[in-house]
Amino acid sequence: GKMLYRKRSQTIERSFADAKQLHGLRYCRFRGREHVQEQALLTAACQNMKKIANHLARLA
């Protein structure tokens, strides 16, 4: 269990920390559940695109 928790803290928790620090998820820009959810989904999409770009850069 401890090994899984260490791995989780390095991968999952780092993703949330990056979203808060680098992508503005510390505060919501809009009001309402739908708008906040839209902001969170766009942030997640940006993070996924960054991961893909970094992966492709390593392959080239």
Range of the domain at 45: 1-59
Q: What is the pLDDT of residues 39-48, one digit of tens each?
A: 999 999 998 9
Please report the DSSP string for 32-45 in residue order.
SHHHHHHHHHHHHH
Is residue 43 packed enough to be buried (19+ CB in 10 Å), middle (13-18) or exposed (0-12)?
middle
What does the pLDDT read at residue 52?
Answer: 94
Task: Report which of residues 43 and 2 the model is more confident about.
Answer: 43
In this structure, the number of other CB atoms found within 10 A of the CB of residue 38 comes to 13
Q: In total, how many domains does the chain have?
A: 1
